[in-house]
Protein backbone atom coordinates (compact mmCIF):
# COMPACT_ATOMS: atom_id res chain seq x y z
CA UNK A 1 0.00 0.00 0.00
CA UNK A 2 1.24 3.48 -0.83
CA UNK A 3 2.45 5.41 2.19
CA UNK A 4 0.37 8.48 3.03
CA UNK A 5 2.12 11.73 2.20
CA UNK A 6 3.75 12.95 5.40
CA UNK A 7 5.26 16.15 4.08
CA UNK A 8 2.56 17.80 1.98
CA UNK A 9 1.11 21.06 3.31
CA UNK A 10 -1.91 20.43 5.52
CA UNK A 11 -5.14 20.95 3.62
CA UNK A 12 -7.68 20.19 6.30
CA UNK A 13 -7.80 19.67 10.02
CA UNK A 14 -7.94 16.21 11.53
CA UNK A 15 -8.51 17.60 15.01
CA UNK A 16 -11.94 17.42 16.59
CA UNK A 17 -14.03 20.57 16.08
CA UNK A 18 -14.58 20.39 19.85
CA UNK A 19 -10.86 20.37 20.73
CA UNK A 20 -11.03 23.77 22.44
CA UNK A 21 -14.73 23.80 23.20
CA UNK A 22 -15.88 26.82 25.20
CA UNK A 23 -12.41 28.33 25.55
CA UNK A 24 -11.40 31.95 25.20
CA UNK A 25 -8.11 33.02 23.62
CA UNK A 26 -6.27 36.31 23.36
CA UNK A 27 -4.02 36.60 20.32
CA UNK A 28 -1.64 39.56 20.04
CA UNK A 29 -0.43 40.75 16.65
CA UNK A 30 -2.26 39.41 13.63
CA UNK A 31 -3.67 42.63 12.24
CA UNK A 32 -1.65 41.98 9.06
CA UNK A 33 -3.01 38.47 8.67
CA UNK A 34 -0.39 35.74 8.45
CA UNK A 35 0.12 32.97 10.96
CA UNK A 36 -1.57 34.75 13.88
CA UNK A 37 -4.80 35.27 11.99
CA UNK A 38 -4.63 31.61 10.97
CA UNK A 39 -4.17 30.55 14.59
CA UNK A 40 -7.19 32.64 15.61
CA UNK A 41 -9.26 31.11 12.82
CA UNK A 42 -8.17 27.58 13.73
CA UNK A 43 -9.09 28.18 17.37
CA UNK A 44 -12.56 29.35 16.35
CA UNK A 45 -13.01 26.38 14.03
CA UNK A 46 -12.06 24.05 16.87
CA UNK A 47 -14.55 25.20 19.44
CA UNK A 48 -13.27 28.42 21.00
CA UNK A 49 -16.19 30.50 22.15
CA UNK A 50 -14.33 33.76 21.57
CA UNK A 51 -11.07 35.25 20.36
CA UNK A 52 -9.79 38.65 21.38
CA UNK A 53 -7.43 40.00 18.75
CA UNK A 54 -5.15 42.71 20.06
CA UNK A 55 -2.85 44.90 18.01
CA UNK A 56 -1.83 48.50 17.67
CA UNK A 57 -3.56 49.36 14.43
CA UNK A 58 -7.25 49.62 15.30
CA UNK A 59 -8.39 49.83 11.70
CA UNK A 60 -6.46 46.81 10.43
CA UNK A 61 -7.26 44.88 13.58
CA UNK A 62 -10.95 45.57 12.99
CA UNK A 63 -10.73 44.38 9.38
CA UNK A 64 -9.14 41.08 10.38
CA UNK A 65 -11.67 40.62 13.17
CA UNK A 66 -14.46 41.16 10.65
CA UNK A 67 -13.06 38.39 8.47
CA UNK A 68 -12.58 36.08 11.43
CA UNK A 69 -16.12 36.69 12.62
CA UNK A 70 -17.27 34.35 9.82
CA UNK A 71 -15.86 31.53 11.94
CA UNK A 72 -17.17 32.56 15.35
CA UNK A 73 -17.04 35.31 17.94
CA UNK A 74 -14.03 37.52 17.46
CA UNK A 75 -13.52 40.79 19.28
CA UNK A 76 -11.15 43.58 18.31
CA UNK A 77 -9.25 45.18 21.17
CA UNK A 78 -6.67 47.70 19.96
CA UNK A 79 -3.65 48.06 22.22
CA UNK A 80 0.12 48.18 22.37
CA UNK A 81 1.84 45.27 24.12
CA UNK A 82 4.67 47.65 25.07
CA UNK A 83 2.27 49.34 27.48
CA UNK A 84 1.45 47.31 30.57
CA UNK A 85 -1.77 49.30 31.08
CA UNK A 86 -3.01 48.26 27.61
CA UNK A 87 -2.25 44.63 28.39
CA UNK A 88 -4.13 44.76 31.68
CA UNK A 89 -7.10 46.47 30.03
CA UNK A 90 -7.31 43.79 27.33
CA UNK A 91 -7.02 40.93 29.83
CA UNK A 92 -9.73 42.43 32.04
CA UNK A 93 -11.97 43.10 29.04
CA UNK A 94 -11.70 39.46 27.97
CA UNK A 95 -12.93 38.30 31.36
CA UNK A 96 -15.60 40.99 31.47
CA UNK A 97 -16.94 40.02 28.03
CA UNK A 98 -16.51 36.26 28.02
CA UNK A 99 -15.97 35.28 31.65
CA UNK A 100 -12.61 33.55 31.22
CA UNK A 101 -9.24 33.32 29.46
CA UNK A 102 -7.78 29.92 28.56
CA UNK A 103 -5.10 30.67 25.99
CA UNK A 104 -2.76 33.57 25.37
CA UNK A 105 -0.79 33.68 22.12
CA UNK A 106 2.01 36.25 22.30
CA UNK A 107 2.51 36.92 18.60
CA UNK A 108 3.09 40.68 18.37
CA UNK A 109 6.58 41.23 16.99
CA UNK A 110 8.61 43.70 14.98
CA UNK A 111 11.31 42.76 12.53
CA UNK A 112 13.27 43.98 9.56
CA UNK A 113 16.71 43.49 8.08
CA UNK A 114 19.24 45.96 9.45
CA UNK A 115 23.00 45.80 9.75
CA UNK A 116 24.30 46.11 13.29
CA UNK A 117 26.58 48.98 12.25
CA UNK A 118 23.65 51.09 11.05
CA UNK A 119 20.77 50.05 13.30
CA UNK A 120 19.83 52.88 15.67
CA UNK A 121 19.52 52.31 19.39
CA UNK A 122 15.86 53.11 19.06
CA UNK A 123 15.44 50.51 16.30
CA UNK A 124 17.07 47.87 18.53
CA UNK A 125 15.01 48.98 21.51
CA UNK A 126 11.73 49.01 19.58
CA UNK A 127 12.02 45.37 18.58
CA UNK A 128 13.04 44.32 22.07
CA UNK A 129 10.16 46.27 23.52
CA UNK A 130 7.56 44.72 21.24
CA UNK A 131 8.82 41.13 21.31
CA UNK A 132 10.34 40.69 24.75
CA UNK A 133 8.73 43.31 26.95
CA UNK A 134 5.43 42.83 25.11
CA UNK A 135 5.51 39.09 25.83
CA UNK A 136 6.29 39.77 29.47
CA UNK A 137 3.63 42.49 29.85
CA UNK A 138 0.89 40.45 28.29
CA UNK A 139 1.77 37.26 30.16
CA UNK A 140 1.85 39.11 33.45
CA UNK A 141 -1.48 40.84 32.75
CA UNK A 142 -3.23 37.59 31.87
CA UNK A 143 -1.68 35.77 34.82
CA UNK A 144 -2.68 38.41 37.36
CA UNK A 145 -6.16 38.78 35.88
CA UNK A 146 -7.10 35.12 35.48
CA UNK A 147 -4.43 32.44 35.08
CA UNK A 148 -3.14 32.72 38.65
CA UNK A 149 -6.38 31.23 39.94
CA UNK A 150 -7.59 29.19 36.95
CA UNK A 151 -4.51 28.07 35.02
CA UNK A 152 -4.09 28.38 31.28
CA UNK A 153 -1.69 28.13 28.36
CA UNK A 154 0.69 30.77 27.09
CA UNK A 155 2.11 30.26 23.59
CA UNK A 156 5.02 32.51 22.66
CA UNK A 157 5.96 32.87 19.01
CA UNK A 158 9.74 32.63 18.97
CA UNK A 159 12.36 32.15 16.23
CA UNK A 160 15.62 30.33 15.61
CA UNK A 161 17.58 33.54 14.99
CA UNK A 162 19.54 33.34 18.21
CA UNK A 163 20.48 29.67 17.98
CA UNK A 164 23.39 30.70 15.84
CA UNK A 165 24.53 34.16 14.79
CA UNK A 166 21.93 35.53 12.40
CA UNK A 167 23.44 38.46 10.53
CA UNK A 168 21.27 41.56 10.11
CA UNK A 169 19.08 40.34 12.95
CA UNK A 170 20.90 41.46 16.09
CA UNK A 171 17.73 43.18 17.34
CA UNK A 172 15.35 40.33 16.67
CA UNK A 173 17.77 37.61 17.74
CA UNK A 174 18.33 39.35 21.07
CA UNK A 175 14.59 39.86 21.46
CA UNK A 176 13.69 36.23 20.79
CA UNK A 177 16.44 34.98 23.11
CA UNK A 178 14.62 37.00 25.77
CA UNK A 179 11.30 35.48 24.75
CA UNK A 180 12.72 31.96 25.16
CA UNK A 181 13.96 32.86 28.62
CA UNK A 182 10.48 34.09 29.48
CA UNK A 183 9.02 30.78 28.22
CA UNK A 184 11.31 28.74 30.43
CA UNK A 185 11.14 30.95 33.50
CA UNK A 186 7.38 31.38 33.56
CA UNK A 187 6.88 27.66 32.94
CA UNK A 188 8.79 27.03 36.15
CA UNK A 189 7.39 29.90 38.18
CA UNK A 190 3.76 29.49 37.14
CA UNK A 191 3.64 25.72 36.68
CA UNK A 192 2.27 25.30 40.23
CA UNK A 193 -0.61 27.59 39.19
CA UNK A 194 -1.49 25.13 36.39
CA UNK A 195 -0.09 27.44 33.75
CA UNK A 196 1.82 25.92 30.84
CA UNK A 197 4.15 28.16 28.87
CA UNK A 198 5.36 26.97 25.49
CA UNK A 199 6.83 28.44 22.34
CA UNK A 200 6.61 27.85 18.61
CA UNK A 201 9.63 28.37 16.38
CA UNK A 202 8.37 28.85 12.83
CA UNK A 203 10.62 28.29 9.84
CA UNK A 204 10.13 30.22 6.60
CA UNK A 205 6.37 30.55 6.37
CA UNK A 206 4.92 31.83 3.12
CA UNK A 207 2.29 34.53 3.25
CA UNK A 208 3.58 36.23 6.38
CA UNK A 209 4.97 39.71 6.88
CA UNK A 210 8.16 38.28 8.35
CA UNK A 211 8.71 36.19 5.23
CA UNK A 212 8.41 39.26 3.02
CA UNK A 213 10.57 41.50 5.14
CA UNK A 214 13.33 39.01 5.83
CA UNK A 215 13.71 38.13 2.18
CA UNK A 216 13.94 41.80 1.22
CA UNK A 217 17.70 42.30 1.25
CA UNK A 218 17.51 45.14 -1.24
CA UNK A 219 15.80 47.29 1.37
CA UNK A 220 18.01 46.50 4.33
CA UNK A 221 18.30 49.46 6.75
CA UNK A 222 15.54 51.30 4.91
CA UNK A 223 12.51 51.74 7.08
CA UNK A 224 10.16 53.16 4.46
CA UNK A 225 10.96 50.64 1.75
CA UNK A 226 11.07 47.76 4.17
CA UNK A 227 7.61 48.76 5.37
CA UNK A 228 6.34 48.55 1.80
CA UNK A 229 7.79 45.09 1.25
CA UNK A 230 4.75 43.34 2.61
CA UNK A 231 2.32 45.20 0.37
CA UNK A 232 4.45 44.77 -2.72
CA UNK A 233 5.30 41.15 -2.16
CA UNK A 234 8.78 41.59 -3.70
CA UNK A 235 10.39 39.09 -1.40
CA UNK A 236 7.82 36.51 -2.30
CA UNK A 237 8.94 36.79 -5.89
CA UNK A 238 12.59 36.62 -4.89
CA UNK A 239 11.84 33.65 -2.71
CA UNK A 240 10.11 31.77 -5.49
CA UNK A 241 13.35 31.97 -7.56
CA UNK A 242 15.24 30.87 -4.52
CA UNK A 243 12.84 28.01 -3.97
CA UNK A 244 13.41 26.71 -7.49
CA UNK A 245 17.15 26.79 -7.21
CA UNK A 246 17.82 25.52 -3.70
CA UNK A 247 16.49 23.28 -1.02
CA UNK A 248 15.34 25.49 1.88
CA UNK A 249 14.41 22.55 4.07
CA UNK A 250 14.97 18.81 3.95
CA UNK A 251 11.20 18.71 3.63
CA UNK A 252 11.36 20.45 0.32
CA UNK A 253 8.80 23.21 0.69
CA UNK A 254 8.24 26.46 2.53
CA UNK A 255 5.94 26.36 5.50
CA UNK A 256 2.35 27.51 5.25
CA UNK A 257 0.36 29.31 7.91
CA UNK A 258 -1.70 26.18 8.57
CA UNK A 259 1.47 24.40 9.72
CA UNK A 260 1.80 26.94 12.51
CA UNK A 261 -1.91 26.94 13.32
CA UNK A 262 -1.84 23.16 13.71
CA UNK A 263 1.08 23.43 16.13
CA UNK A 264 -0.79 26.11 18.08
CA UNK A 265 -3.88 23.91 18.20
CA UNK A 266 -1.94 20.96 19.50
CA UNK A 267 -0.03 22.95 22.11
CA UNK A 268 -3.22 24.56 23.44
CA UNK A 269 -5.09 21.26 23.51
CA UNK A 270 -5.56 18.66 26.26
CA UNK A 271 -3.18 16.43 24.26
CA UNK A 272 -0.26 18.65 25.27
CA UNK A 273 -0.81 18.97 29.01
CA UNK A 274 2.64 17.64 29.90
CA UNK A 275 4.45 20.03 27.58
CA UNK A 276 5.76 23.19 29.18
CA UNK A 277 8.87 25.34 29.14
CA UNK A 278 9.96 24.31 25.66
CA UNK A 279 9.64 25.28 22.00
CA UNK A 280 8.05 23.29 19.22
CA UNK A 281 10.08 23.84 16.05
CA UNK A 282 7.92 23.91 12.93
CA UNK A 283 10.42 24.35 10.13
CA UNK A 284 10.70 21.13 8.09
CA UNK A 285 14.17 20.73 9.65
CA UNK A 286 15.43 23.84 7.84
CA UNK A 287 17.37 25.19 10.82
CA UNK A 288 19.44 22.02 10.80
CA UNK A 289 20.77 22.85 7.35
CA UNK A 290 20.42 26.67 7.30
CA UNK A 291 21.43 28.02 10.69
CA UNK A 292 21.56 31.42 9.02
CA UNK A 293 19.18 31.59 6.10
CA UNK A 294 20.79 34.74 4.67
CA UNK A 295 23.89 32.78 3.75
CA UNK A 296 21.86 31.09 1.09
CA UNK A 297 21.13 34.35 -0.74
CA UNK A 298 23.81 35.14 -3.34
CA UNK A 299 23.21 38.86 -2.78
CA UNK A 300 24.01 38.52 0.89
CA UNK A 301 27.20 36.55 0.25
CA UNK A 302 28.30 39.28 -2.12
CA UNK A 303 27.61 42.07 0.39
CA UNK A 304 29.17 40.13 3.20
CA UNK A 305 32.26 39.27 1.16
CA UNK A 306 32.77 42.90 0.33
CA UNK A 307 32.00 43.98 3.91
CA UNK A 308 29.23 46.33 2.85
CA UNK A 309 26.93 45.51 5.75
Where does this chain bind ligand COA (CB under 6 A)? 109-112, 114, 119-120, 122-123, 126-127, 130, 209-210, 213, 221, 223, 226-227
Residue 81 near residue 141 (C-beta atoms within 8 A): no
Q: Which residues pair with 105 in a beta bridge?
A: 27, 155
Q: How far is the CB of 223 from ligand COA (least distance, A)?
A: 4
Residue 46 or 82: the one with the smaller Cβ distance to ligand COA is 82
Q: How far is the CB of 93 from ligand COA (least distance, A)?
A: 23
Residue 189 or 231: the one with the smaller Cβ distance to ligand COA is 231
Residue 228 or 278: the one with the smaller Cβ distance to ligand COA is 228
Q: How far is the CB of 191 from ligand COA (least distance, A)?
A: 28
- In Å, what is the CA distance from 169 to each residue of 68, 81, 259? 32, 21, 24
Q: How far is the CB of 107 from ligand COA (least distance, A)?
A: 9
Instruction: Indicate the residue whose CB is closest to ligand COA.
Output: 210
The angle, 0 to 180 degrees and rounded to 10, between the axes of the packed helices 134-142 and 84-98 is 40
With CA atoms as reference, report the closest residue to 73 among 99, 95, 45: 45
Residue 21 or 125: the one with the smaller Cβ distance to ligand COA is 125
Q: How far is the CB of 302 from ligand COA (least distance, A)?
A: 20
Residue 38 near residue 257 (C-beta atoms within 8 A): yes
Q: How far is the CB of 290 from ligand COA (least distance, A)?
A: 16
Residue 135 or 226: the one with the smaller Cβ distance to ligand COA is 226
Dihedral angle sign, alpha carbons of residues 166, 170, 175, 180: positive
Q: Give strand ranges (E) for the chain.
A: 24-28, 50-54, 74-76, 103-106, 152-157, 195-202, 279-282
Residue 110 or 255: the one with the smaller Cβ distance to ligand COA is 110
| Burial (CB count <10 Å: 0-12, 13-18, 19+), residue 207 | middle
Q: How far is the CB of 69 from ligand COA (least distance, A)?
A: 23
**Count of helix runs (H) and strand runs (E) in the chain:** 13, 7
Q: How far is the CB of 14 from ligand COA (least distance, A)?
A: 28
With CA atoms as reference, report the closest residue to 180 among 159, 165, 196: 159
Residue 11 or 117: the one with the smaller Cβ distance to ligand COA is 117
Q: How far is the CB of 174 from ligand COA (least distance, A)?
A: 14
The angle, 0 to 180 degrees and rounded to 10, between the axes of the packed helices 121-128 and 170-190 is 30
- In Å, what is the CA distance from 290 to each residue of 192, 203, 230, 249, 309? 38, 10, 23, 8, 20
Work out the number of other CB atoms within 10 angstroms of the CB of residue 206: 18
Helix (H) or strand (E) holding 242: helix 234-245
Residue 76 or 172: the one with the smaller Cβ distance to ligand COA is 172
Residue 110 or 173: the one with the smaller Cβ distance to ligand COA is 110
Amino acid sequence: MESPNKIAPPIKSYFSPELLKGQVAIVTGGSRGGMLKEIAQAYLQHGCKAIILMSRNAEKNGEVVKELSKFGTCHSEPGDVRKSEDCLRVARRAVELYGRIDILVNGAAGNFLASAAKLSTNGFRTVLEIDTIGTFNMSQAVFNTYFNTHGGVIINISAALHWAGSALQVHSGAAKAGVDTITKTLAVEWGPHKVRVVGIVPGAIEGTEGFERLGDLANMNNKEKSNQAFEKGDAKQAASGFKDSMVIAPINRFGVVQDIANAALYLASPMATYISGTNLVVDGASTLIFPNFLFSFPKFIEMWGQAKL
